[in-house]
Structure 1
Amino acid sequence: MPKESPWVKPMRLNYIENQKEKYTDLIKTLDGVIVIIFNITRKKFIFVRQFRGAVYQGIYSTGKQTVPEGDADLEKFPPEIGITLELCGGAVDKDKSLEEIAREEVLEECGYEVNADSMQHIFNYRSGIGTSSGGLSMFYCEVCDEQKVSEGGGVDHEVIQVVEMSLKEASKMVQTGAVTNGGPTFLVGLLWFFLYKAPAYNYK
């Protein structure tokens, strides 16, 4: 791991528990914001799809005790296995409020211009508690077609595809036995919506 990586910092934490010296290896990561976006004009969720190297590596190295080195077998493990379906979100890497950072992510990734005060805070939690424990703040934001000002897709070298999904389609993502290539945050966000927001749209 390059020491100058702006995203992750590997470290070892030493501590004493029950009078025994212990240690655990960790990765320090940036905190993040996550946004559940729902287009009220067409009653559809707005998701993002993108390639995640960590997901690709996780699938590629399944069953292996060491990190594979060298070129990947792209015929056996095509890049598509690393593409995930996610909620809009991004790193907290600016000296701005969480609502403002979330607003910027909605614009950059999905192309909707919204106000920071339209972000409904849902809750804060932590992910990867066994290795990184990065803090995440989840928001809910309703948008309409009139607020669509660009195609989105991210900034700099990001390659992000905007995906729209109906309530019926999304509900299948959280049914027993469903499989998704995204993280638990995606599922948590959908479950929250169907519990607290879906009834307002006459969806049960």
Structure 2
Amino acid sequence: MRTHDSVSVLIFNTTSHCFVLVKQFRPAVYMSEWERSKSKPPEPAEQPEGAEGAEAGTAAQPEASKSGEGDGGEKAGDEAVASPGQPPVSVGVTYELCAGLVDKPNLTLEEIARQEVLEECGYDVPVTKLRKITSYRSGVGVTGAMQTMFYAEVSDENCVGEGGGEPQEGELIEVVKVPLHEAMSFAYDEKIPKTMGVIFSFIWFQSNMSPKYKISTNV
């Protein structure tokens, strides 16, 4: 199986003091959540009316009221029957660093990283402004490929487009911004689906760059 190494970039906008991330749908994440939802025990069925006399009907009344009040409860039940066990598309969306495959042998890692920042996030960053953070193995259980992480500071003046990736390559990317003072809360919030690269890079920034901006990024 042939695999490609990759690059990722932690982007910090010095004009608005925020991190620039990308948000996109990941089929593997969605299927994982779908399988997880199927493993959950089914909800108990409602007690049929008049099945065991008036006493049974009276006992079942509080249970039925838990499903909803008035028409709202009935509609929720109808929707559950229409799509049993199928989670919403949103569960497959993750927050990630700008990243891309190293699949252009004529370009350096820095040049590939610069190209990805331009395509996905819309910022034109000179190669000389890219700072290497580190390299590490990613997907060790599947591909064992190497990923190199960079740091780039941009400003609103560097923004030359909307980003969004290359639709013809199947990329549907949304650019999102995380304020600096909310970074660590964002990183440790388990309700926000994100990659380990986001968490690690925010911690790296806190240790190496936050004193420069004199802004606390503590949780």
Q: TM-score range by the shorter chain?
A: 0.7 to 0.9
Specify the alignment match of 1:114 in structure 2: 125
The one-letter code sitting in structure 2 at the alignment partner of 1:125 is Y
Specify the alignment match of 2:69 in structure 1: none
Q: Percent identity?
A: 42
Aligned residues: 170
The one-letter code sitting in structure 2 at the alignment partner of 1:150 is G
The within-5 A match list for 1:174-185 is 174-175=187-188, 178-185=190-197
Q: Is the CA contact (8 Å cut-off) linking 2:38 and 2:85 kept in structure 1? A: no
3-state SS in 1 of match to 2:143: coil
179 and 83 in structure 1: CA distance in 2 versus 1, 3 angstrom threshold: same
Specify the alignment match of 2:86 in structure 1: 76
More strand, by proportion:
1
CA RMSD of aligned residues (A): 1.9
The one-letter code sitting in structure 2 at the alignment partner of 1:108 is E
The separation in 2 between residues aligned to 1:160 and 1:89, in whole angstroms, is: 11
Query: Could you report, residue by residue, the CA deviation over 1:145-189 in whole angstroms, capped at 9, with x for unpaired residues?
Result: 1110000000123111010110122220234x6343122111111
Q: Is the CA contact (8 Å cut-off) linking 2:37 and 2:87 kept in structure 1? A: no
Specify the alignment match of 2:164 in structure 1: 153
| Counterpart among 136, 144, 150 of residue 133 in structure 1 | 144
The separation in 2 between residues aligned to 1:74 and 1:160, in whole angstroms, is: 29
Query: Could you report, residue by residue, the CA deviation over 1:119-161 in whole angstroms, capped at 9, with x for unpaired residues?
Result: 1001000122222222100000000111100000001231110
| Long gaps (5+) in structure 2 | 40-82
Specify the alignment match of 1:41 in structure 2: 15
Superposition TM-score, scaled by structure 1 size:
0.77
Q: Is the CA contact (8 Å cut-off) linking 1:173 and 1:179 kept in structure 2? A: no
Specify the alignment match of 2:79 in structure 1: none
The separation in 2 between residues aligned to 1:37 and 1:172, in whole angstroms, is: 18
130 and 62 in structure 1: CA distance in 2 versus 1, 3 angstrom threshold: same
Superposition TM-score, scaled by structure 2 size:
0.72
179 and 133 in structure 1: CA distance in 2 versus 1, 3 angstrom threshold: farther
The one-letter code sitting in structure 1 at the alignment partner of 2:111 is E
Moved over 4 A (4+): none
81 and 121 in structure 1: CA distance in 2 versus 1, 3 angstrom threshold: same
More helix, by proportion:
2
The within-5 A match list for 1:1-204 is 9=1, 28-62=2-36, 76-95=86-105, 96-155=107-166, 156=168, 157-175=170-188, 178-204=190-216
Query: Which structure would you say has the larger RCO, counting Cα contacts within 8 Å and 6 or more residues apart?
Result: 2
Specify the alignment match of 1:15 in structure 2: none
The separation in 1 between residues aligned to 2:3 and 2:89, in whole angstroms, is: 25
